[in-house]
Amino acid sequence: MSSTLLNCQKEPRIGSSGQDPEATPPEQADIVLIGGGVIGLSTAWHLLQAGRQPIVLDPHPGSGASFAAAGMLASISEVQYRQEALLPLMRTSAQLYPEFVARLEATSGQSVGWRPTETLVLAFDRADAQHLTELATYQQELGLTPEPIGARAARRHEPVLSPSLAGAVSIAQDHQIDPRRLMRALDQELAGRVIRASAQGITLEDGTVTGVSWVDADGNQGSMASTQVVVANGLAATQLHGPDSLESLPLRPVHGDILRLTVPPHQRPFLTRTIRGVVRGNPVYLVPRKDNTLVLGATMREDQQTGLSAGGIYQLLRDAHELVPALTELEIHEATARARPGTPDDIPLIGQLTHRGQPITGALLATGFFRHGILLAPWAAQLITRQLTGQTTEQDLADLATCNPYRFAQPDTL
């Protein structure tokens, strides 16, 4: 088998049926979604299901953080201290996933790689075990159900685990999905609606959206009329012209290195469950796929290095080896780095955009999903769809208050 190493600058492609590289944006659209990541595509698909006619603008659909994501649906194991406000959003979206997957697979005829297998969370040494115990206790106090099972039981489930582990917790409710398969299925469902062009700005008139300006790869420029626009292009949201509130969004790039490895035939099956671990205080995870590949990730770097980090790759391999020594027998076939859009409290920014302190009719923002974009996609898509179709519920209003894009701003700057 030949080995391919992708650096973070190479442009991947998520599919073929939903994208026509030669297609140009129409002159007018029902709804425009800026950004072809998992949030933009999931929302467009929900809108299509609701009878709307969305258009997605993205120069390289599916090539950002969603492309690198491991796809852990970790509504419990991702819960951290002082993030109680995020928990209900994560749990709601996790509960939506089975129906979301069933509908998408039925309409697209494609598998999205959803696996309802449990997650094992491992501790390398005694200090890590103490941290794991304390975190599990905190999660239980929140009404969650992590189950301490001990290292021996974990090894009975997964024989390739190290015999020197100091502790283990089982989380039956934390599953996984293959983000790239998910994106391909959404791409197929949106055939002809995903346009490879960059949105340059949002045009406004008297506090109302009137359209989007764009430029394609050949430098051709134009505009598309629309009275509803969703900004879902991650970190690039701050670069759009138009609403002045976009410039000051509290987004920061959190870079992550991630590896994909192939399991040789004599090592199969290697792992059957998602493995998360803490090794000398460093988090690491291994996500096995049905195609005998393994996703190993991921670092969190808030630096200026946009490419792969040698130190990050070393850390991943070193820490994963402590949990699964046989990992060194696998073949690395891809290394990727991407920046995830972080917010000060790790909660997304979702809501109505403003300009000069006033709400803009027809302009919505959906960014800042950090590590949780794949997990939160069904919930976010449903929330945004209900906003755009005038079906917002009381719970939606509560969720929008939690995700208010301007919650960090001073009152006189709103």
With beta carbons less than 8 A apart as the criterion, state whether 327 and 264 touch: no
What is the distance in angstroms between the CA of the first residue and the CA of the last residue of the chain? 56
**Collapsed DSSP state (helix, strand, coil) of residue 351:** strand
Task: Tell me the residue ranges of DSSP E strands in 263-382.
Answer: 274-279, 282-288, 293-297, 331-342, 349-355, 358-367
DSSP at 6: -
Q: Where are the domains of the chain?
A: 11-114+175-250+343-414, 119-172+252-340
DSSP letter assigned to residue 9: T
Residue 257 vs residues 46, 220, 310: alpha-carbon distances, Å: 31, 34, 9
pTM of the model: 0.94
Reading the chain (414 residues) residue by residue, the pLDDT tens digits are 333 445 544 456 555 445 566 678 999 999 999 999 999 999 999 999 999 999 999 999 999 999 999 999 999 999 988 889 999 999 999 999 999 999 999 999 999 999 999 999 999 999 999 999 999 999 999 999 999 999 999 999 999 999 999 999 999 999 999 999 999 999 999 999 999 999 999 999 999 999 999 999 999 999 999 999 999 999 999 999 999 999 999 999 999 999 999 999 999 999 999 999 999 999 999 999 999 999 999 999 999 898 999 999 999 999 999 999 999 999 999 999 999 999 999 999 999 999 999 999 999 999 999 999 999 999 999 999 999 999 999 999 999 999 999 999 865 544
- Asked if omega into 269 is within 30° of 0 (cis), the reply is yes
**Tokens representing residue 27 in the block:** 């002159």
The token pair at 150 is 């001990």
The CA distance from 400 to 49, in Å, is 22
Task: Centre a 10 Å sphere on the Cβ of residue 400 and count the other Cβ atoms it contains.
Answer: 18
Classify strands 54-57 and 194-195 as parallel, antiparallel or unpaired.
parallel
Closest CA to 194 of 11, 35, 38, 363: 35
Torsion (CA) 367, 372, 374, 379 in degrees, nearest 10: -70
Q: Please give the Cα distance from 126 to 78 (Å, whole number).
A: 21
Question: Could you please report the per-residue DSSP string of 87-99?
Answer: HHHHHHHHHHHHH
**DSSP E strand stretches across 147-232:** 147-148, 167-171, 175-176, 194-195, 197-205, 208-216, 221-225, 229-231
Beta-ladder partners of 304? none
Q: Which CATH class is domain 11-114+175-250+343-414?
A: alpha beta
Q: Please, are residues 311 and 157 in contact by the beta-carbon 8 Å criterion? A: no
What distance in Å separates the CA atoms of residue 227 and residue 209, rounded to the nearest whole number?
A: 5
Q: CATH 3.30.9.10: does it fit domain 119-172+252-340? A: yes
Inter-axis angle of helices 373-388 and 394-402, nearest 10: 130
226 DSSP assignment: -
